[in-house]
A and B are shown apart, each in its own frame.
Chain A
Amino acid sequence: MSTMAIDKAGPSRKVKYGSMSRDRTWALRWSYFFLVLFAIFFLTPPVYMLITSLKSSAEISAATNPWWVFHPTLSNYVELLTSNQFLRFFWNSSIVSIVVVIITMLISIPAAFALARMKFWGSATLATGVFLTYLVPDSLLFIPLFKMLALVQDLTGITLLNRWYVLLFVYPTLTVPFCTWIMIGYFASIPKELDEAAIIDGASWLQTLLRIFIPVALPGLIAATIFAFTVSWAQFLYPLVFTTSVDQLVLPVGIITTLIKGDVFNWGQIMTGALLGAAPPLIIYAFLMDYYIAGLTAGATKG
């Protein structure tokens, strides 16, 4: 009697299991289906950049199937990579981004250390202030900064506007607050016992920072570095406002102002330039994806 009851219950439970796993396979299939659709949406522009960059201008103006390359050629790449002007943009972009990263790190690591570990008068207010500054967009600051720099130039006689190095002064407004903010988060997550032990052993504050905090928070440091680099590399508004001479331009502005001549769009070259301009962040991302994502999510979750 009792065995029969169990037997009856057995199959029905199995059927339930079967339907659940079948549901799950279907959910998986649908997930893949939609993911492919979204991946097409997300990847169309970069793929299209690549396709166009391999076409000659004759093929582009022949208006054949835009999604296919019939006569692949590297002439666009050769032309850009041998053009002094383009290499100049690349050089300007690189030097600006690298120096800005160094400046940012020199400013934000010590500050984050002080804000995370040394409670001093106004430290909480300053930390909040750092976060608020991070929310101030570039499009709010470019006009007063432009006027300020013009005034400084008049007063001191040092040419600032229309020089690439002016960007070294203005980019930190975008990178320093965020980097400080995420470094505060990373530093605060280091156990207090670690630096207490260091202090007891007679380490000074600077030694604690250099020997303990920086090595332990290295992942955070890498994430902050990547952030500072990509932000400086991608910045468009400031260089558009502060630099105009062709030899002072950085990559994004350079491509847009020199490759688009009046109404003539040399699309093959523009797409090649855009792809080359997107390459450094993409390469960093490909190799350091986890740090990149950690930095991205840290901004909102660490705080």
Chain B
Amino acid sequence: MADVVVEQGRVGRTSQRKGASLHNVLGRKSTVAFFLTLPLILVIALLVLYPAIYSVHLATLNKSMQKFVGLGNFTFLFKRETFWMVVKQSCIFAVTAVIFKALIGFIVAHFVHNIPGKKQRKWRGMLLVPWVIPPAMSTLAWLWLFDPSYSAFNYTLSFFGIGPIPWLGETFWARFSVILVNVWYGAPFFLIMYLAALKSVPDQLYEAAAIDGANWWQKIWYVTLPMMRNIIAITTLFSLIVTFANFDIVRILTAGGPLDTTQLFATWAFQVGIQSSDIPLGACVSLFMVPILAVAAIFILRDVTKRGNEA
């Protein structure tokens, strides 16, 4: 009698405990996961997703934000010449800068890869310095190098008989300067990415190519580039987004001048939305960055998920 009771009790307890613990683990796992991700979800929802949607709403209001004007701000922008100039300059700036960053990064990565291992570290460390300095700080140094009256560049160029160049004063040179500074700042990032990619290319492939009689150009074209395709694509797209949305360099170097010819979406949105306090119009300007960002993001995402599946 007693035995049975004890046994029953034990069986009952164990089965109960088993059920409870199983339930617990299931319940706990998803609740724990929920609580662990909750802050992240809140940050993304409240500080990224909501503002993004809110800015669409803002873009449909009039300047005092009292009246709904629909697409009024957009049609107003389309009629302004400055807007089209900003579109053009943003595209010129982003495409040119990214191409040069990628080229310089690719070339310098090869040079660094060529030299023996120990010194490589030192060179790599030195060449990455532009990327480490906060861009606002380094752009100040460039502003000083370009200074109209004490320009160190013009001083140096005068020895070669090249007349004073109005680095930031003329449209062409101002555009050249902002691109130059952006290339200077961004090329080290490409360098590091390409160097990592170069190291992952197996030596056997080059040896095989050499035996087949490939010259250096064919080695790059048929071995290096296909092996680095993924990294090149993802780095370029990523940099395209960052460069397209650039603010610091243009703001500090030219503040959009001369005559708004170096203005990018970000700097113009700042000028219109914050400085002239026409928030809806500013929101509207910055929204024009979305299409190109979305296209680049889709491509990056496709690449990332594809690589995820391979791994």
One digit per residue, 1 when the CB lies within 8 angstroms of any chain A CB and 0 when it does not, for chain B 103-115 equals 0100110111011
Is A118 an interface position by the 8 A CB rule? Answer: yes
**B301–A148 touching, CB < 8 Å:** no
Bound Cα distance A249, B138 (Å) = 19
A-contacting residues, B1-47, CB 8 Å: 28-30, 32-34, 36-37, 39-41, 43-44, 47
Given contacts A45-B184, A236-B135, contact A147 B44 (CB under 8 A): no
Q: Range of interface residues on chain A?
A: 35 or more
Q: Are A143 and B274 in contact (CB under 8 A)?
A: yes
B95 contacts across to A, CB distance below 8 A: none
In the bound complex, do residue B155 and residue A120 qualify as a contact, i.e. CB atoms below 8 Å apart? no
State A277–B137 Cα separation when bound (angstroms).
Answer: 7
Number of interface residues of B (CB under 8 A): 98
Would you give the shortest CB distance from A248 to chain B, in whole angstroms? 16
Interchain CB contact (< 8 A) of A110 among B36, B54, B155: B36
Residues 22-43 (chain A) with a chain B CB within 8 angstroms? 27-28, 31-32, 34-35, 38-39, 41-43
Given A142-B270, A205-B32, A277-B134, A301–B150 Cβ distance below 8 Å?
A: no
Contacts of A107 in B (CB 8 A): 39-40, 43
Whether A236 pairs with B134 at a CB distance below 8 angstroms is yes
Closest Cβ neighbor of B47 among chain A residues: A173
Chain A residue with the shortest CB-CB distance to B115: A31
B297 touches A140 (CB 8 A): no
**Which of A42, A118, A146, A286 is in CB contact (< 8 Å) with B29?**
A118
Alpha-carbon distance between A138 and B52 when the two chains are bound, in angstroms: 11
Q: Is A133 an interface position by the 8 A CB rule?
A: yes
- The interface bits of chain B over 276-287 (1 if a CB of A lies within 8 angstroms of the residue's CB, else 0) are 000100110011
A52, A237, A270, A297: which contacts B193 (Cβ < 8 A)?
A297
Known interface pairs A35-B108, A256-B140; A42-B40 also in contact (CB < 8 Å): no
Instruction: Mark the stretch among B71-79, B80-88, B235-243 that contacts chain A.
Output: B235-243
State how many angstroms separate the Cβ of B227 from the closest Cβ of chain A. 13
Q: Which residues of A contact B135 (CB under 8 A)?
A: 234, 236
The reply to whether B301 and A48 contact each other, CB–CB distance below 8 Å, is no
Q: Give me 5 A-to-B residue pairs in the complex whose CB atoms sit less than 8 angstroms apart, sorted by A's number.
A: A35-B123, A67-B152, A148-B54, A230-B134, A301-B231
